[in-house]
Chain A
Amino acid sequence: MKRSEKIITNTVKIAGSSSILFILLIFVFLVREGLPALGEVSLKDLFSLRWYPIEDLFGLLPLISGSLVVTFTSILIAVPLGIGTAIYIGEIAPKNVKEILKPTVEIMAGIPSVVLGFIGIQALSPFLREFFNLPTGLTALSGSILLAMIAIPSIVSIAEDALYAVPSSYRDASYALGATKWQTIWGVVLPAARNGLMTAVMLGIGRSLGETMAVMMVTGNAATTFSGLKSVIMPVRTMTATIASEMGEVASGSVHYHVLFFIGIILFIFSLVINISSTSVQGKSKQEKGQVIS
């Protein structure tokens, strides 16, 4: 009896800590395969401007800036749309509209990114080329728009949960003071749901940063140097697309192989920073709330 209890407790404990173990194993693997790159390629070469691995040119800057440009632009598109949708679903829409809208957004989350990429090649990029009169439609912007479509469903569902968690007494109090619906949403509900909304944004950033397939299909994959705002309408090559398209060819143990894993470490650090900043935002606002109550 006692023994079986012990076994069950331990099993649950192992299941619970397994995700930590997996993360650790992944990190150890990344470090073990990626860090040798630092010994094989000098830092000056790693942070140079040209990526052409078959001639041993391993400049990572174009890839890092490519990922950042695509992610940042996609967030600029996805956050207003996603949070707006969540506000409409949660606060404004009548019940029957809400019942159609919510599952529709969830269906959007289920569209495979390859399908989006295909639409991107066939429809979006020719349209963007003609609309903005660009040399080519395969640009960071096309990737960002697809990524926004991928990030929006997760932003909407988390943001909507955050709005739902705001007690209705807050809204009632605001209406009782004579505030309009918009004043209530802007002045009361949104600030109260702030940390949930921040989590939604952070999750959206993480989703955009890590997405590979759609981006690889429409951004043109040219490792161009960052050139300010213009980079948004230029072809770029992201870190994820680089790993995905080059990992298959690379001989394990070669310099190129180690550098690809080193890119993996950079991606890992990026997502770690995003996660830590999102939890620190949450922690901070909890503290503030605590002070108000006391």
Chain B
Amino acid sequence: MRRWTRTILLTGILILTACGSSTSEENTQTGSSTYIENKGSDTLVNLALAWAEQYQEEYPEVQISVTGGGSGTGFTALINGTIDIANASRQIKDLEIEQAESAGFEPHEIIVANDAIAVIVNPENPISELTLDQVSRIYKGEFNNWSELGGEDRPIVRLSRETNSGTHVYFLETVIRLSDEEDTDIFSADTLLLPSSEGIISEVSSNPNAIGYDGLGYITDEVKTIALASKEGRAYILPSAETVIDGTYPVSRGLYMYTRGEPDGIIKDYLDWILSDEAQEIVTELGFVPILD
């Protein structure tokens, strides 16, 4: 039993040292190809892929691999040392910072784009405006029929991303709890937790009972976006680049990339490029909102 633990530890150390040596090589080597491992938020994955493709075209010596899995998954991988950059659609939690510190590094955060969370329904649903409080009460299970909100007599089917999604956590804090830190309300138990953004779009586009939420970049014409008001009596605003930038749309957030400590070498070059105008143009193309500097 003990010997077995030791074997696993040894293997782990071997893998870690292997990773360590390869990163230090990356930093010293110039000319030959270098790898950047990039993982995390599913919201960011398409954007990160588009950036990686464009960057590799311009700098063929750099190879960037991008995978999704959720913001939490990205942080875990960063802490375990299997990746160089973690993508996240939420800020790192205190617990994750502690874990990173005990793994020997200080996580370094940059905001790479902005995103609005759109609340969506089926195009057949006559409802097109809701207040944040109404959305919150729908997801808490206080409204169970669209007729209670002035719609048709249909049951409400609530859709959400899985709990490892940064979008899920953000929606919980900002919409369900209306940014009140004391609030401990959670999703109604019958909320469907779908493993992907595409799954939500697909169910909302085919099911007239459904309500869902997703990053603006994922919204297609097959679903109807709801205009949201931060409070009863305020204006109902549709999410768009303009309403996110001028701050009128109430549910928008930053998208982040995290590195193990201050980035340097090739990783710093890549992150600097992401903040450039050229890379931020890709942000707009994919339906996200660019950062302003």
Contact = CB atoms under 8 A, between A and B. Distances in A.
Interface stretch (A135-143, A146-154, A280-288): A135-143
Contact of A54 (B156, B169, B191, B199): B169
Given A245-B195, A248-B70, A248-B73, A126 B189 contact: no
B200 to A, nearest CB: 11
Contacts of B266: none
The 4 closest A-B pairs by CB, nearest first: A249-B72, A249-B164, A220-B192, A135-B155
Contacts of A50: 189
Contacts, number: 88
A25 B4 CA distance: 10
Given A136-B157, A221-B192, A245-B195, A126 B206 contact: yes
Most buried by A among B96, B99, B190, B209: B190
B69 interface: yes
A250 interface: yes
Given A245-B164, A248-B69, A249-B76, A221 B207 contact: no
Contacts of A223: 189
A136 B193 contact: no
Contacts of B99: 251
A65 interface: no
A218 to B, nearest CB: 10
Interface string B186-216: 1101111111000100110011011000000
Interface string B136-176: 00000000000000000011110000111000010000000
A80 to B, nearest CB: 30
Nearest to B172: A54
A249 B70 contact: yes
Most buried by B among A53, A57, A251: A251
Interface residues of B, number: 36
Interface string A250-262: 1100000000000
Interface of B: 1, 4, 69-70, 72-73, 76, 79, 95-96, 99, 154-157, 162-164, 169, 184, 186-187, 189-195, 199, 202-203, 206-207, 209-210
Interface residues of A, number: 36
Interface string A29-59: 0000000000000000000011011110100
Contacts of A138: 192, 194, 203
A251 B193 contact: no
A135 B69 CA distance: 29
B186 A52 contact: yes
A235 interface: yes
A28 B70 CA distance: 30
A106 interface: no
B72 to A, nearest CB: 3
Given A125-B203, A251-B79, 15 more contacts: A49-B189, A52-B163, A54-B163, A121-B202, A135-B154, A137-B207, A220-B192, A220-B193, A221-B162, A221-B192, A222-B192, A237-B193, A248-B72, A248-B73, A249-B164
